[in-house]
Structure 1
Amino acid sequence: MLFGVITTIFPDAPAIGVVRQHVDDLVLVGDRKTPPAASSDIRLLSIDDQFAEFPEFAGLMPFNHYARKNIGYLHAIARGATILFDTDDDNAPTAQWKVPQPEIVGAISGKEFANIYRLYSDDTIWPRGLPLDHLQDAQNFTVEERRGSDAAVAVWQGLADLAPDVDAVWRMIYDKEFIFEKTPSPDHVVLDEGTFCPFNSQNTLWMDPSSFPFLYLPWTVTFRFTDILRGYVASFGIWRQGKRIGFGPATVEQARNPHSNFKDFLSEVPMYSLGRTVYDVLAKSNLNGGDSDLLVMYEDLARAGIVEKEELVSVERWINEIKRLCSTGQAVP
């Protein structure tokens, strides 16, 4: 069952109606600023709903914060989600949007950091979260064709046209609408273990329920770092499971909600300065592919000063909620 999960203060945003047409069920996670939804076809989790369903975990998530989206993930898992479409209220799927099932993929290896966006454009562009000291790296990674059925992709990251997920440095320099004009061959690529490209929460399909624990969004880092840090953690955890992260062409158009680029920049400063450190910390984490890996990685990140120790309480509660849902048969294990 394909669930979409969005957190919003605009429950009737046009893009949300488009998302609803592409999923079996859609969950909107409300916050203190979220008014009721006009459409009865969309499930809006109010603050009261969140506390009724997950009282302990809902109390750990801060209000007016993107990490409340975690409660939407749990709600979808509890209702049997087998694929989870993670997106935002300003990303509208286009006619090209679909769950990827490529016959052939390009497997990428040979670098620790790879700017996948450059496969889909000859213009200067990079994903939010790519360490800035890697912007000028030559794109000399190895691409090997493989059967798509052999790729074991746990997460597909689709790109976004018009306002792609780039950082504030790019936006302050270029400040323009952007279209990914290239289609590489193969048009979907998969990152081999150790090769990392940041992925976000805007046009992202989580394909494997065994990797759902890595959906967790941290709340003790800045807003613009939240989903990027999640992507680092998820990549290492998913690699240890023997699975991969994949990227594909732009299949949504983002009509970006109002932002201050400079405020975004200030929120991204830790992301710029800590990306390399996060990679190195997680590369040394003692992972076994089991239930404890998420907590192990966050304990290592806390020791490195990247997240606060309070984060560990939330991570433990999250893991317990996932286990509870699976043990009661509400969720797919």
Structure 2
Amino acid sequence: MRDVPQHGPGFRMLCIAGACLLFLYIAWSAGSQRNKFSIVNGSRNPRLIDKFRTVQSDRWIVVTTISYPTPDMEFLASIPGWRVVVVGDTKTPADWRNPNCVFLSLEDQRGLGFATESLLPEESYARKTMGYLFAIAHGAKVIYETDDDNRPLDLLKTFKLDPTMWGIMFRGEKLFNPYRHFGQPTLWPRGYPLGSVGERPTTDYELNHWKTPSIQQGLVNGDPDMDAIFRLTRKQTRSQLNVTFDGRAPPSIVPAGVFAPFNSQNTLFLYDALWALLIPTTTTFRVCDIWRGYWAQRLLWEMGGNVGFFPPNAVQKRNSHSYLSDAKEEKDLYFQTDRLVDFLTKWRCEEGRTLFGCMTKLSTDMVHENFWGGKDASLTSLWIKDLVALGYQEPKRIPFGSLKDAAQYVTEEKLLTQTRTTDQRVNVSFWAAGQPPPQIYSQATQSPAAVSHAAQIASYCSNESFITSKLTDIITYPNILLIIVFNFPHYENLQFLETMYSMHFPHIIYCGANKDQFDTHAKLLSKPVTFMEVDHANGWLGQHCLIEAMKMQFRVDGYLYMGDDVLLNVWNIHTLPLNKLWVYHARVVRQSRRERGHRVDHPKVGSPAYQAALKALKLVDIDRYNSFTDMLFNNSWKRDGFFIGSSDICYVPEKYKADYLYYMEHFSRFDLYIELIFPTVPRGIEKSENLYMMKGTYFLYEPIREIRKYFNENHLFVHTVKISRSISVPEGRTFFCKIFFPLTLKN
């Protein structure tokens, strides 16, 4: 047996020292891992680590409460795909429980180990901050904040979580009033500068493909967030407000350079804006979330981010309380907001700072300007420290454009390019469907819009009297977007078109060329209207109006497209299948045969364009190509068949929007002529037996002198009816006043 070597005392001491070092390393490593686990889970308390170990979600709702679970709270807890964290305070019942919520007592909050907690006072709305940090620590990629008396109406599906979206961006200056955008131009949200409430609203927007707003505020029906001045002067003391906003109107994105107040009651933050959740502690309760919102907006400009306002997706009922007390707490909102907006507009962050560096600087500068106290600057630093410890990824800074003069705005083009993802811009004038405003005393039984509509008819038909019951009982279609296309800029007909259709369709888009010319005639109307400036080649490519209208993101059930020379029998629409694509008669043409006439063989917009588009579709999406061509074969019985027909009116239900828009946009890139694309696309999407064949009358000439002979009140439309000529001849006036308008007014 080989001898075992003998070592001296020095070697044995070295081994002992090595073992000790190894033990210390293992202990440190284990402690480091525990500490890492604790930071990731937002806690250094072993009890809390075990308590919240399995609580993970990428979507969190954060609420604070002093009451036992309300019905609205229980509803929040039942929303699929979301977790709720409830932040308690001194007045919150100690035994607060809900099986679907994480409840953080004051003891829990202090044990989470966040540095921020040390500067959060008790009995403060700012304790909600602990809920934000808890959610981020437990996987939050999206946080929705609200109050325990708010109830979402759509399970939070209105908000946009995709990185980009089509929509309209406000093109005004300095301030945006979201209540005006959604149909209440005489209302203003809490925190809107009072000196700007009465300013003439801007209706200019730009439609494009944008980076999705990092912060999204949904409007609230019922008793929305307005200041005490409004409540003291525009409602009865003990009455409940029942305000409605236009729920069909499209969202609006607010560009850099423009401010809009937003609160903490129905607001969604995407991951790149979770840093913006911090609520200050040194302002009053009625000011804290509004000041937070202005602070956050200015910093969003430093990362190419935006705030977006979305149609009402929640309802709130408030308990009556002292509005005079609210007014005292809101004093800074009344007298300091203009100064704050001016300060933030001029404020600049040095080029070398990161976004978090800009946060620190702005918070400190707001202390120096006496907008909040020094503790909020310290709170910002601790907040950033906690975010970094949790591994939150700081957004990359995109420095806001430099100015020649700090008192001037960056050029509009510079602002928009920070968030635009394409250059498919469309100029839009937008005005929502007007909603009845609250009044302190009101005996009105008819809406002003209805009375105005009746007055317009009476003015044109001065020798006629119309008998109708309540104007509010007239058939209307708030769920349909009507798109009226001017092939040529005959905008002098605008007033009469409004008289014919605006009472029945609260949502109308007029589309055509030359916005300046349109605006000249639109100024003569009693209210603003929505217009989209689109170059459609004098109607040859009229489908562009439908495509762009769909991209605006109206929340409607269908899109009804028609030319300005179509007479629409509005009283029949409710009897038709609104869940089907509507088409008119069309004939089959073939790619392999030359078709003379009707522009089928036109080299740019006819059959050659269609063949080129099909080849491209096959290359970019073989599945869609096969689906489309197979359906066309099913409907035409020709392998190379497609369709040609009249294209002055069509209807697209919302359920077909995605496919319809895809194919319309694809074929339009090849300038396919409207009388080919309108009949072909629906027949490439759906079987003929599932399409609705519209009943209507087509004339190749102006039929107004004989229209009573050919008019059929049971049909959907008549074409061609040139408004300017029709209303100027006795036969036309007689037809409209004795036949058409009486039919529109029937219930």
Q: Of the two structures, which has the highest relative contact order with CA contacts closer than 8 Å and spacing of 6 or more?
A: 1
Question: What's 1:43 paired with?
Answer: 102
1:197 paired with 2:260, answer: yes
Return the offset for 1:182.
2.2
AA aligned opposite 2:212: A
Return the offset for 1:104.
3.0
Question: What's 1:4 paired with?
Answer: 61
* Aligned equivalents of 1:167, 1:309: Cα separation in 2: 26
AA aligned opposite 2:91: K
- State the SS of the aligned residue for 2:174: coil
Question: What's 1:180 paired with?
Answer: 244
Question: What's 2:29 paired with?
Answer: none
- State the SS of the aligned residue for 2:242: coil
Return the offset for 1:173.
1.4
- State the SS of the aligned residue for 2:330: helix
* Aligned equivalents of 1:164, 1:181: Cα separation in 2: 10
* Aligned equivalents of 2:114, 2:142: Cα separation in 1: 25
Kept in 1: contact 2:115–2:386 (CA 8 A): no
Cα deviation 1:157-183 (Å, max 9, x = unaligned): 001111101111111112252332424
Corresponding residue pairs, total: 325
Kept in 2: contact 1:295–1:315 (CA 8 A): yes
AA aligned opposite 1:190: I
From 197, 201, 206, the equivalent of 1:135 is 197
For structure 2, the residue ranges without an aligned partner over 5 or more in a row are: 1-57, 395-747
* Aligned equivalents of 1:252, 1:86: Cα separation in 2: 12
- State the SS of the aligned residue for 2:176: coil
Cα deviation 1:69-99 (Å, max 9, x = unaligned): 1111001011110010010010011137415
**Greater CA drift, 228-237 or 105-114:** 105-114
**Greater CA drift, 56-65 or 131-140:** 56-65
Kept in 2: contact 1:15–1:90 (CA 8 A): yes
AA aligned opposite 2:328: L
1:27 paired with 2:91, answer: no
From 312, 315, 321, the equivalent of 2:380 is 315
AA aligned opposite 2:362: M
Cα 1:104–1:152 shift into 2, 3 Å: closer
Kept in 1: contact 2:169–2:207 (CA 8 A): yes
Return the offset for 1:280.
2.2
Kept in 1: contact 2:87–2:103 (CA 8 A): yes
AA aligned opposite 1:5: V
Question: What's 1:299 paired with?
Answer: 364
Return the offset for 1:116.
1.5
* Aligned equivalents of 1:253, 1:18: Cα separation in 2: 12
Written as runs of structure 1 = structure 2, the 5 A alignment for 1:72-151 is: 72-95=131-154, 97-101=156-160, 104-122=166-184, 124-147=186-209, 150-151=210-211
Cα deviation 1:30-71 (Å, max 9, x = unaligned): 000001223222111000000000353222101001001111
Cα deviation 1:101-138 (Å, max 9, x = unaligned): 39531100221112121121246211100010010011
* Aligned equivalents of 2:110, 2:121: Cα separation in 1: 13
* Aligned equivalents of 1:142, 1:314: Cα separation in 2: 39
Cα deviation 1:168-225 (Å, max 9, x = unaligned): 111111225233242465x111001111110010010001x22211111001011100
* Aligned equivalents of 1:182, 1:95: Cα separation in 2: 15
- State the SS of the aligned residue for 1:266: helix
Kept in 2: contact 1:218–1:226 (CA 8 A): yes
* Aligned equivalents of 1:31, 1:160: Cα separation in 2: 26
Kept in 2: contact 1:213–1:294 (CA 8 A): no
Return the offset for 1:245.
0.4
AA aligned opposite 2:101: I
1:325 paired with 2:383, answer: no
Larger radius of gyration: 2
**Greater CA drift, 98-107 or 300-309:** 98-107
Kept in 1: contact 2:165–2:211 (CA 8 A): no
Written as runs of structure 1 = structure 2, the 5 A alignment for 1:198-213 is: 198-207=261-270, 209-213=271-275
Q: Point out 4+ residue stretches in structure 1 off by more than 6 angstroms.
A: none
1:65 paired with 2:124, answer: yes
Kept in 2: contact 1:88–1:202 (CA 8 A): yes
Cα 1:181–1:304 shift into 2, 3 Å: closer
Kept in 2: contact 1:93–1:251 (CA 8 A): yes
* Aligned equivalents of 2:230, 2:365: Cα separation in 1: 31
* Aligned equivalents of 2:372, 2:82: Cα separation in 1: 35
AA aligned opposite 1:264: D
- State the SS of the aligned residue for 2:69: coil
* Aligned equivalents of 1:124, 1:87: Cα separation in 2: 25
Cα 1:244–1:289 shift into 2, 3 Å: farther
Kept in 2: contact 1:111–1:141 (CA 8 A): no
The percent of aligned pairs where both chains have the same amino acid is 30
Cα 1:296–1:332 shift into 2, 3 Å: closer
Kept in 2: contact 1:155–1:204 (CA 8 A): yes
Written as runs of structure 1 = structure 2, the 5 A alignment for 1:285-296 is: 285-287=347-349, 288=353, 290-296=355-361
TM-score of the superposed pair, with normalisation by structure 1 = 0.92
* Aligned equivalents of 2:286, 2:118: Cα separation in 1: 22
AA aligned opposite 1:21: S
For structure 1, the residue ranges without an aligned partner over 5 or more in a row are: none
* Aligned equivalents of 1:7, 1:201: Cα separation in 2: 11
Question: What's 2:622 paired with?
Answer: none
Kept in 2: contact 1:11–1:28 (CA 8 A): no
Cα deviation 1:210-264 (Å, max 9, x = unaligned): 2211111001011100000000011011121001100011111112245321111
